[in-house]
Structure formats: C-alpha cells, structure tokens
C-alpha cells in the first residue's frame, strides 16, 4: 500500500491531537497549521517515523495588518519513499506573534535548515531557539533592519513603521 | 590522530606527540577566478589541509523577493532571469508554471506551448551543464574542454535568440503560453543542433572521462554520502551523484514530462567525478527528450484563450478600442489570482528550484519565495572540503556547480 498525504495527516493527528490546529487543501497541496511550541517534536516525528527525510524549503511570511499573529514560518517537507517513487509533500506552518518572535530550530532534525533559518532570521528577524550559528547570511553583519518585513521602508531603508507612515504622508502632500 | 581545538579565538592543532601548531586563516575570494562569482570562503588551514571552511555569501544580494512584492506578476519574470543566469530559461519556465498553478489554468495551456517549453528547458539544462563541466575542467587546468563546451553553448544561445530575441536574459514564455509563435526555422535549427551536439559531447567525453589528470583531481574528492546529501537537502546532480535517484521531472512531473521516455542517470560514488559523469549522461538524456519533443511538436494555438490574463494581439490593440482597454488593464493592474498559496518545483539543471507564491487577491504577489538549488547545495561545501587539500576546494566548488546570482538573489 502506498503512502499518501491523507495517511500522513491522519498519523500526525493521532500523534499530536492538541497541536494540529488547522488543515487546508488548495490546488492539491496540503497545508497543516501546527502549534509553534511542538514544532521540533512534530518535525522529528515526520522525519524519523514517517520518513519525511527531505526538507524542501523553510521560509517565513509577514502578515502585518492582514492577520494576527503576525508571522508564519513555513516548512515544506518531502518524503521520497522507496526508490524515490512516492514523493509526498506537505506544508507545515507555525504562527508567531509580533514582538520578539521565537521558534525552536529544526537544524537538529534536518541540517538543511541551517542556512534556511539563518536566511529567515536575516530577512524577518525571527529567532530560532537552538540554532548553532544564528547570524545574518545575505545582508551585511552590521545591517540593522530586516528587509522582508512588510514595514521595511524601501525608500528610506529603515524598517520602522513610523518612517513608513511618514513617507506615506510626505507622498500625500 | 591529531585534533583541533578552539583556544583563545584560534584553532589550535594538537598533534599526536603533543606539539601544538596554529592554523592559518586564508580568505578565498570574494574576487577569485575559481569561485564562479563573488563568493568568499574563509579557510582555516593546517599546512595544506583544510581544517574548517566557512562560506560567506550575500555579495550579490539584490533583494529579488522584496522587489517582486511591489510589481505585478508579469513584471517579476525578468527578475527570475537574473538568478541562475546560466539557465535563465529554466527559471522563467519554473516561474510561469507556478503562476499558472496559482491561477489554476494549467489545463488551458495549449500543447504547442508546453512542448516548446520542454525543448527550451532541456536546452537550458545542456547549456548549464556545459558551463558547469567546462569551468570545472578549466579550474583544474584543462583548457580545451572548456573551449569545446563554450562553442556548443553559443549554438544554444543562437537558438534562444531566434526564439525570443535575447541570449542570456530570455524572459521568454508568458503566463498562458508563448508570446509569439515559433519562428519558421525553429525545427530546423534545433534539428541541426541535435545532429552536431553528440559529436562535441563525445569530444568532451574523450578529453576528460579517461584523462588521468582529470581522474586524479576529481575521483575521491569532495565526497558526500547519500545520507548526508539527503540530510543537507542537496538536489540535482549533487544528490544523484551520491546514488539518490530524486528528479522532480519523475517525482512530480510538470509540462507532461511523464510522457517522455528518458532515464534519470544516477552514479553512486558521491565524489566530484561521479557528479561529472552524472551531468554528462544527463545531457544525453536531454537530447533524447528534445528529439521526442521535436518529433511531436503540434501545430495550433501557442497561447491560451484567456482574455483576463493574456494580452490581446498587437494588431487588435492598435485597431480595436476593447482590446486597447483590455491591454491597458492587464498591464496597469495586472491579472488577479484568487487569494491562496502554491508551491511549484521544477528540476533546474542544478537541482530543485521551487517558487512559493502567496496571492492576497491583488495584482501583485503578497510574497514570492525562491528556493534556489545552489543556495542549499552550497551548504555542503564545508562538509566536502574539511580534511582535504586546499587545491580540492576548487574541485569541490566546480563540481557543485553553483551560481552566485541564485544563492544571493
């Protein structure tokens, strides 16, 4: 019997009944919203028990003034299956509140996450608890703001919301 | 066994007899001919042995993901050229496929457009592998193989030029299909390439595959095991060279790849030579795919009939008021995909390239994330070179076949 997304979702639901918040399906892709506190346990379970050995991507999204909590960390995990013939991919999401966003690192689960988490930190300022070497990766070391935040001021290159609003006001005059 | 300890901000090598030596720190790059762009690697050396290698990236960062949040979906297309600029057509097609998935119009794309995209995608793969192999050989001192590769790559550029007018930065397909029908001599020029290319491939093969110096410099160098390769998230020839047959074209086929007869070459040693063999065979398989696609290139429409998304014909824009309005709205506001999010992966020459697009229902992407294969593959460098000679770092970088435009975005 081949393994499919539905099976993975059911197994996850049985294992972590409290932490699976929402399951969505859109354009044949399954998105699972999970609680951020258990993210490392869920990822370990996915990798070691369900054999999702490949972390395809790890990124974040800033939903400033669109929804609350503000940030989402997004994981794409992939299961090859025997002879790379199954190829099941699911998307995990964990929500983080504004302020001092912090989530457990998954570097101990997949080494791939090392640079990917560094990039998320660099671009969004989200900190990863337990990351071995969390420093900026693309931007200069002494650079202050985190550019992919929605309140990053593209014109003044200052990520304060005040200067964003000021720039908008200046534009209106 | 000697071991390395970190004492007073310095790596100290403690030898078997108790003597201590300090390591030397050497900056390789950012300006270095063998780093294929602006890459800086800080090497900690014990004599000629690499104790630690720390790559520093970001010198080419342009903020493509941020830029794309401020422009319409069509305007993002030229930015995708500038990531993996050695195979820009593959980036373009990957992006277009993602937007089409977001819009939910995959079934409307005409067959002629799909088959053409397959041909161009595989040409892009050959083009990128030629540069990968050619520069890898050049870095290790084999000048002639590089020249053969670049002559052939020039022919691919000429094909791209006849199709879309640009050579390097193609920005070619559009959401919905092709912007223009193919030129009349398209089948002829691609056919000619298919005839002449195997000869060059054989020449490159005879220059390198059994070349003693090439084998000595690449066999057993920069080895990565299958477990490590998966754990580090390697894709493309980097993972197939370690014996993992993961190829997106087979795993989750797009553009009708399931209908083509081809194999995924896998080599098991996990060293630089093994990745080289994998690339060589991939070019052969690409030729096979192009031949099949060319034989079955259908006639008919080249772009989907979707008035909300596809620009009207130029002729109509100039003569019909309604078409002019349509043109204006699509260019000015952009088409508006329904709110939602999709991820789509394609098998780029260097590995899995995936786009993750989030739409909030407006004409601009709310978030565009690019997972470039080079970025992730680059992580393996430290693991590959630690404990090897300085000269092998060059072989390792070349065999990973990275492109800095995509790492830094």
pLDDT higher than threshold 70 for residue B126: yes
Residues B51 and B164 both lie in one domain: no
Best residue in B368, B369, B378, B383 to probe A by mutation, most A CBs within 10 Å? B369
Nearest CB to A84 within list B63, B245, B358? B245
- Cα–Cα distance, B409 to B373 (Å, whole number): 12
Please tell me the predicted confidence (pLDDT) of residue B285: 92
Please tell me the predicted confidence (pLDDT) of residue A172: 62
Question: Looking at A1-5, B87-91, B298-302, B316-320, which range is the least confident one?
Answer: A1-5
What sign results for the dihedral spanned by CA atoms A157, A160, A164, A169? negative
Contact by Cβ (8 Å): B134, B145:
yes
> What confidence category does residue B145 fall into, taking pLDDT thresholds of 50, 70 and 90?
confident
Residues B171 and B192 both lie in one domain: yes
Residues B52 and B72 both lie in one domain: no
Residue B240 carries which DSSP code? H
> Smallest Cα–Cα separation from B214: which of B168, B282, B146, B268?
B146
Please tell me the predicted confidence (pLDDT) of residue A75: 92
Task: State how far residue A25 is from chain B, nearest Cα, in angstroms.
Answer: 10
Average pLDDT over every residue of B250-271? 87
* Partner B contacted by A152 (CB < 8 A): yes
pLDDT by residue, tens only, chain A of 173 residues = 467 878 888 888 888 888 888 888 888 888 888 888 888 888 888 888 888 888 889 999 998 888 888 898 999 998 887 777 788 888 989 988 888 888 988 998 888 898 999 999 999 989 998 888 888 888 877 777 888 888 887 776 654 555 566 667 777 65
Residues B47 and B78 both lie in one domain: no
Residues B30 and B79 both lie in one domain: no
Contact list, A66 vs chain B (CB under 8 Å): 360
Contact by Cβ (8 Å): B265, B282:
yes
Average pLDDT over every residue of B87-105? 91
Verify whether the Cβ–Cβ distance B371 to A56 is below 8 Å.
yes
Contact list, A57 vs chain B (CB under 8 Å): 343, 354, 356, 369, 371
Give residue B361's region: left, alpha or beta (phi > 0; psi -120 to 50): left
Residues B106 and B233 both lie in one domain: yes
Nearest CB to B231 within list A27, A111, A139? A111
> What confidence category does residue B121 fall into, taking pLDDT thresholds of 50, 70 and 90?
very high
Residues B404 and B337 both lie in one domain: yes
Residue of chain A whose alpha carbon sits nearest to that of B360: A66
Residues B291 and B336 both lie in one domain: yes
Please tell me the predicted confidence (pLDDT) of residue A68: 82
Contact list, B251 vs chain A (CB under 8 Å): 80, 84, 87
- Residues B120, B202, B273, B130: what is their CA dihedral angle, to the nearest 10 degrees? -30
Task: State how far residue B314 is from chain A, nearest Cα, in angstroms.
Answer: 33
Q: How many CB pairs under 8 A join A and B?
A: 96
Q: pLDDT tens digit string along B368-409?
A: 999 989 999 988 888 888 888 888 888 888 888 888 888 888
> Smallest Cα–Cα separation from B355: which of B51, B40, B76, B116?
B76
The percent of residues in chain B predicted with pLDDT above 90, rounded, is: 16
The percent of residues in chain B predicted with pLDDT above 70, rounded, is: 99
> What confidence category does residue B269 fall into, taking pLDDT thresholds of 50, 70 and 90?
confident
Nearest CB to A139 within list B61, B245, B360? B61
Please tell me the predicted confidence (pLDDT) of residue B355: 92
**Phi and psi dihedrals of A60, rounded to 5?**
-140, 160
Please tell me the predicted confidence (pLDDT) of residue B208: 87
Residue of chain A whose alpha carbon sits nearest to that of B266: A83
CATH number at residue B209: 1.10.645.10
Query: Which A-chain residues 82-111 have CB contacts (< 8 A) with chain B?
Result: 83-84, 87, 89, 91, 110-111
Residues B70 and B172 both lie in one domain: yes
- Cα–Cα distance, B250 to B255 (Å, whole number): 11
Verify whether the Cβ–Cβ distance A66 to B360 is below 8 Å.
yes
Verify whether the Cβ–Cβ distance B233 to A138 is below 8 Å.
no
Q: How remote is the C-alpha of B388 from its chain's centroid?
A: 27
> Smallest Cα–Cα separation from A76: which of B334, B158, B34, B354?
B354
Structural domains present in chain A: 5-138 (3.30.460.80), 145-173 (no CATH)
Residue of chain A whose alpha carbon sits nearest to that of B100: A27
Q: Which residues of B touch A (CB under 8 A)?
A: 57-58, 61, 63, 65-66, 70, 101-102, 104, 228, 230-233, 244-247, 250-252, 340-343, 345, 352, 354, 356, 358, 360, 366-367, 369, 371, 375-376, 378-379, 408-409
- Cα–Cα distance, A35 to A115 (Å, whole number): 23
Contact list, A74 vs chain B (CB under 8 Å): 356, 369
- Cα–Cα distance, B128 to B351 (Å, whole number): 11
Q: pLDDT tens digit string along B279-308?
A: 999 999 999 999 999 888 888 888 888 888
Verify whether the Cβ–Cβ distance B343 to A76 is below 8 Å.
yes
Number of domains in chain B: 2
What is the SS3 assignment for B263-283? CCCCCCCCCHHHHHHHHHHHH
Residues B38 and B75 both lie in one domain: no
β-strands A102-104, A127-129 pairing: parallel
Question: Looking at A73-77, A152-156, B54-58, B124-128, which range is the least confident one?
Answer: A152-156
ipTM: 0.84
Residue of chain A whose alpha carbon sits nearest to that of B61: A138
* Partner B contacted by A147 (CB < 8 A): yes
Contact list, A76 vs chain B (CB under 8 Å): 343, 354, 356, 371
Residues B271 and B164 both lie in one domain: yes
Name the residue range of residue B249's domain.
64-408
CB atoms within 10 A of CB B222: 28
> Smallest Cα–Cα separation from B82: which of B102, B65, B99?
B65
Q: Which long-range contacts (CB under 8 A, 24 or more apart) does B136-140 make?
A: B136/B272, B136/B276, B136/B395, B136/B398, B136/B399, B136/B401, B137/B207, B137/B208, B137/B214, B137/B398, B139/B33, B139/B34, B139/B394, B139/B395, B139/B397, B139/B398, B140/B213, B140/B214, B140/B217, B140/B218, B140/B394, B140/B395, B140/B398
Q: pLDDT tens digit string along B322-381?
A: 889 988 888 888 888 998 899 999 999 998 999 999 998 888 899 999 998 999 998 888
Task: State how far residue A30 is from chain B, nearest Cα, in angstroms.
Answer: 10
Average pLDDT over every residue of B249-257? 87
Contact list, B57 vs chain A (CB under 8 Å): 137-138
Verify whether the Cβ–Cβ distance A27 to B104 is below 8 Å.
yes
Please tell me the predicted confidence (pLDDT) of residue B118: 92
Strand partners, B51: none
Verify whether the Cβ–Cβ distance A27 to B102 is below 8 Å.
yes
Task: State how far residue B15 is from chain A, nearest Cα, in angstroms.
Answer: 27
- Cα–Cα distance, B149 to B184 (Å, whole number): 27
Please tell me the predicted confidence (pLDDT) of residue A81: 76
Question: Helix (H, G, I), strand (E, B), or coil: what is residue A25?
Answer: strand
Verify whether the Cβ–Cβ distance A57 to B354 is below 8 Å.
yes
Please tell me the predicted confidence (pLDDT) of residue A1: 44
Residues B267 and B325 both lie in one domain: yes
> What confidence category does residue B165 fall into, taking pLDDT thresholds of 50, 70 and 90?
confident
pLDDT higher than threshold 80 for residue B7: no
């Amino acid at each position: 019997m081949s393994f499919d997304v539905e099976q993975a979702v059911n197994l996850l639901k049985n294992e972590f009944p409290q932490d699976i918040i929402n399951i969505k399906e859109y354009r044949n892709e399954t998105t699972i919203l999970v609680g951020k506190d258990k993210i490392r346990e869920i990822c370990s379970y996915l990798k070691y028990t369900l054999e999702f050995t490949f972390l395809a991507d790890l990124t974040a999204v800033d939903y400033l003034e669109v929804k609350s909590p503000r940030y989402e960390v997004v994981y794409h995990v992939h299961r090859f299956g025997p002879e790379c013939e199954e190829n099941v991919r699911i998307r995990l999401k964990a929500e983080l509140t504004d302020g001092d966003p912090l989530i457990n690192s998954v570097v101990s689960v997949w080494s791939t996450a090392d640079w990917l988490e560094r990039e998320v930190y660099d671009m969004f300022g989200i900190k990863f608890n337990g990351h071995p070497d969390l420093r900026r990766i693309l931007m200069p070391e002494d650079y202050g703001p985190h550019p992919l935040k929605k309140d990053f001021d593209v014109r003044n290159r200052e990520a304060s919301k005040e200067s964003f609003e000021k720039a908008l006001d200046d534009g209106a005059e | 066994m000697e071991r390395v300890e970190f004492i007073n901000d310095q790596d100290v090598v403690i030898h078997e007899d108790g003597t201590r030596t300090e390591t030397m720190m050497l900056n390789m790059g950012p300006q270095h001919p063998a780093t294929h762009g602006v890459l800086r690697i800080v090497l900690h050396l014990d004599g000629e042995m690499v104790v630690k290698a720390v790559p520093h990236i970001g010198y080419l960062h342009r903020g493509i993901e941020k830029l794309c949040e401020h422009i319409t979906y069509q305007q993002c297309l030229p930015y995708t050229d500038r990531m993996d600029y050695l195979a820009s057509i593959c980036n373009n097609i990957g992006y277009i496929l993602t937007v089409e998935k977001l819009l939910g119009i995959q079934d409307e794309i005409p067959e002629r457009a799909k088959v053409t995209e397959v041909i161009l995608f595989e040409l892009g793969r050959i083009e990128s592998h030629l540069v990968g192999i050619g520069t890898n050989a050049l870095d290790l001192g084999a000048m002639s193989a590089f020249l053969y590769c670049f002559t052939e790559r020039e022919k691919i550029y000429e094909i791209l030029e006849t199709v879309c007018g640009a050579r390097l930065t193609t920005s070619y397909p559009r959401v919905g299909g092709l912007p223009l029908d193919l030129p009349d001599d398209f089948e002829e020029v691609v056919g000619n390439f298919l005839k002449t290319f195997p000869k060059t491939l054989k020449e490159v093969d005879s220059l390198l595959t059994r070349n003693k110096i090439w084998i000595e410099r690449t066999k057993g160098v920069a080895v990565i095991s299958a477990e490590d390769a998966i754990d580090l998230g390697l894709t493309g020839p980097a993972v197939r060279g370690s014996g993992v047959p993961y190829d997106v074209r087979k795993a989750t086929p797009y553009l009708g790849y399931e209908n083509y007869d081809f194999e995924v070459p896998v080599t098991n040693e996990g060293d630089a030579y093994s990745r080289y063999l994998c690339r060589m065979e991939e070019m052969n398989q690409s030729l096979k795919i192009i031949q099949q696609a060319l034989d079955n290139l259908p006639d008919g429409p080249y772009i989907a009939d979707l008035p909300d998304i596809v620009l009207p014909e130029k002729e109509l824009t100039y003569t019909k008021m309604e078409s002019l309005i349509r043109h204006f709205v699509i260019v000015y506001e952009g088409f508006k995909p329904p709110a939602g999010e999709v991820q789509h992966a394609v098998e780029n020459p260097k590995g899995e390239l995936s786009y993750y697009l989030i739409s909030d229902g407006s004409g601009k992407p709310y978030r565009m994330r690019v997972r470039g294969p080079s970025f992730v593959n680059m992580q393996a460098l430290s693991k590959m070179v630690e404990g090897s000679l300085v000269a092998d770092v060059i072989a390792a970088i070349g065999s990973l076949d990275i492109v800095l435009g995509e790492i830094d975005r």
